[in-house]
Amino acid sequence: MPHLFSPYTLRGVTLRNRIAMSPMTMYRSRGGHMGDFHLMHLGARAAGGFGLVFGEQIAVTAEGRTSVHCAGLWDDDQVPGHARVVAMVEAMGGVAAVQLAHTGRKGSEQLPWEGKAQLPPEHPDGWPTSGPSPVPFGGPKHGHPVHELTVGEIHGLHRSWADAARRAAEAGYRWVELHFAHGYLGSSFFSPIANRRTDAYGGSLENRARFLLEAIDAVREVWPEEYPLTMRLGADDLHPDGTRFDDAVTAIGWMREHGLDLADLSFGGNTPDSHDGMRGEQGAWVERARRIRSEVGIPVAASWNLRVPRTADDAVRSGALDVVLLGRPALANPHWPVWAARELGHDDPFSLVPEDYAWWLRTMRGHAPSIGWPQPAP
């Protein structure tokens, strides 16, 4: 029976376990480049035992960033920085993954700890944002005008996604994910809250999914056949006027026909008025993931409140999830996989880390708590 620490193969890529570090925007880039911080940050998680390691969401255009401090792959000059990170993650036994994104109408923001408000286009660190319709995200922090994309601009963005995927392959990535959640561009096309178009990209579910399917097609044409292509979908807006989970079930079936290998489930995030009670639930997406696997027949990953090892392991053992994604837990504990293995009674928890780490940890002197592991979860 598969479990949290069993290998997982998708297309021609095998993960050493089912534990992935989720993309976490760190606001440490300059000019869209990955630097020494990313080398340290992501290399440490691979050394800590994560099987799949995502960096932050990577912008396919400069205007697709959350802020000027975010990383991208819209320029060939950005490839070497990514290649350094990939090499380190792979050297530590992990698989390096890249999530390609465009923030759409939620871009051009301040740093979160400075307020996260959207900057006006005339600000030195701001730019005009775009979306499927001229509808701002709303709330007190996102009220600036939104440019409605033309059909020609939509096609250009699909080329940008493909170009970024080509650069990702050049950098050595072996896993690519497209970010269609959290109110960013792909998610806003999918949601009737943000998408008020009356052309082929708006209205019906089929039309609202068109942008996403064409992005998958564009990337699949350039992405190596032996490597997985996955996507993170805003599968529910948690709002009566937004995307419903039934919409996601249907759309993921279409995506599978277009070459999608795995569905990563998350929230829509297309309005500040969402009723987000699910966010506090332990393993919030597990049962919905089980439905996707059953009805669509596609592998599934999810994040959100899977930080307790038993919850994460049960989700894999029960057949609901193929891969567990951890965001904040991965930031808090770079060796979360080792801690989880100890919590769950793994025969050799230190087998999850590189041998030079494992040798020292297996030959410890004194009592185990002296290493400083977290206390057992309640």
Residue 265 contacts residue 182 (beta carbons within 8 Å)? no
Q: How far is residue 360's CA from residue 304's CA, in Å, rounded to a whole number? A: 33
C-alpha closest to that of 21 among 209, 175, 238: 175
Rounded (10°) angle between helices 205-222 and 151-171: 40
- For the chain, count helices (H), then strands (E): 11, 12
Residues of the chain by 3-state class (helix, strand, coil), percent to 5 = 40, 15, 45
Distance between start and end Cα atoms, the chain: 26
Q: Which of 8, 173, 184, 201 is catalytic?
A: 184
Closest CA to 105 of 139, 152, 70: 139
Long-range contacts, 110-115 (Cβ 8 Å, 24+): 110/67, 111/27, 111/67, 111/69, 112/27, 115/141
d(CA 298, CA 307): 24
Q: How many CB atoms lie within 10 A of CB 308?
A: 17
Residue 20 dihedral angles phi and psi, to the nearest 5°: -120, 145
Q: Active-site residue 227, yes or no?
A: no
Residues annotated as catalytic (active site), given as ranges: 184
